[in-house]
Structure 1
């Protein structure tokens, strides 16, 4: 019976590192529903376990290029999949090095190709691609059978290359049994948790700038950052809300400034956290904060909401379409420090409001973003694509 299932080759990263794309791929691979419906094989793409080295062109990347495509060729020849599911990159080097050739090689073997944009900045980045690369990328996109985006708002990311009827929306998924609101956990007064790469594009340097003003008004406020600091930007170069180019700032210099100030004790660099350590910090936080300039759908934001935390966040990607200001937290335009401070003041000054927002967030995640719900939607997307 299992041999009659449609065969799907999943291509992508799995942990480590424990970032959104890796964790989401792992969720799909472990989904009971998807495995009951399809015969799934997997080709792992990430050969680095450190996010700071992602996107660097070096000898290991060149070696991995040949290793990856030899494995892909073996899958296509011997496994004979009916479909390929492949999360794409938003960068020019990613399309030159792997994305274009993965799509085209799969199509040579007559396989249906489903790509997934796990972000919101492909369209803006594409405008800056080399003209020849644009033609190459456009040629491959026209051969895609389905393109998944993380919000209805992002349905135009591949215009004019992929027709509207081939675009599907798939929201972020959460294991609501693992990420649950434990009322026995005592929150730390004033604890504000930030999770993600500590870069300008993630709003790290912006948050550091507002720490003095917030902590003068709320002396117990303490900002905990979970992630890794890295110089440069390898994917996000534009403010997805305004379309403006992001003015780069060195995160190490910004951190040094706060560490050499009177507010050094209001700043904690946790480094990369995962497992029980991450859960502990999520559960003991009073507020979750994300200041990202561009997202598809932040996994860490959904994790915090699943645990029943109120949030202060930027209305980028899916956030502007699935979360409401004053209902699920408070929003601010990326890069607008005055708005960020205003949002934090509102949420820090009213404990009853924080609790009410947290309850709303937990209910919203349970109702709309469970892994069972999202896997069912994904099953429908794959089935429809195979039948097209």
Structure 2
């Protein structure tokens, strides 16, 4: 982590609080902390349905997870309650009887945030809270069919997030305006706030020279990722590109498939495909003409960085943080969120010129390698940690 070395006299001990399921040593959200091993050690709290990750150590970081069997892990309330109890007891015990924590990192502000704040009160450790989404967007909650519960969760998030952020020593953002709904400008000046990309293992990828005749998107849930917007947009121009396909990759219920199929009249060109494992998904990206992220809400979209690291041009909506990572006309195109006609225009321009795609893809590759690398992430996160702990200059 380069220049951090001069500021760190000894390794700080971190506690990472995340309800995320830990199911593989390749889990990107977890391995990024292990990359900090030269300067930090720590414990990672999460949930798992695999016994080997109940107590798993790698390079100075210990995964101490709340375990439930496959059958029980399908009960969301049980998963949440067991995680809260396990994480609280584990953190307090390990702080006082194993090794004291210098800093707690809450991976998100809704569940992990309040829990991390409680642990902070018991331990006296500093706290960094990460914002990884636009939690005040109604789109985030629209999958909850019960209107009362949906409004309850939205209302809770609007109260809980500012409460946690005001008591955090550091805040990590993915795009500059992400903090606006929660803290006033005066309140923001009182905090250490840093805005930078999410960790993405771009050094594992190579610029691809392969280009097959398809464009793609992937993710879940389909409505937030804008699958319907892409389907409707491509349907308008499909007749101009009769050999080109659109591959939409992700988990879809039968009703979701039927709805998406009802939006177009080109079944030979628009394909709904099953989810892919990480390595297979990256291979797919390496072969596409263009990646499209038509999300209705999206704080960043790690897949944009993955696509650029493969030398692929990108198209994205103007939702939330996407325009922070797509420079219109430089490494791709942006369109007004939800605007089918505008996306159709951008797709037509992109598909009409191979030289244009190469120019955009090359520019994206240069941007991601120069500005959005793992090393830059680690250096900026290291600076945030030191500032939050009071050991660095506040930015």
TM-score range, shorter chain: 0.7 to 0.9
Question: Aligned residue for 2:30?
Answer: 26
1:23-52 deviation line (CA, Å, top 9, x unaligned): 2x2342231xx2111122222246699xxx
| Secondary structure of residue in 2 paired with 1:253 | helix
Distance 1:152 1:226 in 2: 30
Structure 2 distance, partners of 1:332, 1:223, is: 18
Q: 1:227 to 1:149 in 2, by over 3 A?
A: same
Which residue pairs with 1:63 in the alignment? 82
> Equivalents in 2 of 1:252, 1:208: separation in Å?
12
**Structure 2: runs of 5+ lacking an equivalent:** 1-7, 51-67, 142-150
Mapped partners of 1:54, 1:117: distance in 2 = 25
Write the deviation string for residues 2-37 of structure 1: whole angstroms up to 9, x where unpaired. 994211112223654899xx52x2342231xx2111
> How far did 1:215 drift?
1.3
Q: Distance in 1 between matches of 2:368 and 2:235?
A: 33
Corresponding residue of 1:212: 235
2:17 is aligned to 11
2:96 maps to 77
Q: Is the CA contact 2:234–2:347 (under 8 Å) kept in the aligned structure 1? A: no
Corresponding residue for 2:385?
382
Distance verdict in 2 for CA 1:58–1:26, change over 3 Å:
closer
Q: Check conservation: 1:181, 1:306, Cα contact below 8 A.
A: yes
- Pair 1:113-2:130 in alignment: no
- Residue of structure 2 aligned with 1:296, choices 295, 299, 312: 299
The structure 2 residue matched to 1:257, chosen from 254, 259, 262, is: 262
**1:36 — aligned with what?**
38
Does residue 269 (structure 1) correspond to residue 309 (structure 2)? The answer is: no
- With normalisation by structure 2, the TM-score equals 0.78
- Identify if the C-alpha distance between structure 1 residues 133 and 335 changes in structure 2 by more than 3 Å, giving closer, same or farther: closer
User: Partner of 1:344 in structure 2?
Assistant: 347
Cα 1:81–1:361 change in 2 (3 A) is: same
**Per-residue deviation at 1:346?**
0.6
Question: Partner of 1:163 in structure 2?
Answer: 188
Q: Which deviates more, 111-120 or 61-70?
A: 61-70
Cα distance, 1:333 vs. partner?
1.2
Q: For residue 272 of structure 1, report the CA deviation from its aligned partner.
A: 1.8
Aligned residues of 2:25 and 2:31 also touching (Cα < 8 A)? no
- The residue that corresponds to 1:330 in the other structure is 333
Q: Distance in 1 between matches of 2:252 and 2:137?
A: 26
- Looking at both structures, which has the greater relative contact order when contacts are Cα pairs under 8 Å and sequence separation is at least 6? 1
Specify whether residues 133 and 302 from structure 1 end up closer, same or farther in structure 2 by C-alpha distance, changes over 3 A only: closer
Matched pairs, number: 350
Query: What CA distance in whole angstroms lies between the structure 2 residues aligned with 1:381 and 1:87?
Result: 14
Q: Choose between structure 1 and 2: higher strand proportion.
A: 2
CA contact (8 A) 1:149 1:168 kept: yes
Q: Which position in structure 1 is the counterpart of 2:285?
A: 282
Q: Deviations over 1:204-248 (max 9, x none)?
A: 1222223322211211121112222269xxxxxxxxxxxxxxxxx
- Give 1:238's aligned residue: none
* Kept after mapping to 1: 8 A contact 2:14/2:104: yes
Change over 3 Å in CA distance of 1:46–1:118 after alignment to 2 = farther
CA RMSD of aligned residues (A): 3.2
- For the 8 Å contact 1:18–1:274, the answer to whether it is kept is no
* 3-state secondary structure, aligned to 1:8: strand
Aligned to 1:247: none
* Paired residue secondary structure (1:331): strand
Bigger shift: residues 148-157 or 347-356: 148-157
Residue 221 (str. 1) matches residue 226 (str. 2): no
Structure 1 unaligned spans of 5+: 232-249
Q: How far apart are the structure 2 equivalents of 1:361 and 1:138? A: 35
Aligned 1:80-95 pairs, distance under 5 A:
80-89=100-109, 94-95=110-111
Q: Which of 148, 152, 171 is 1:147 aligned to?
A: 171
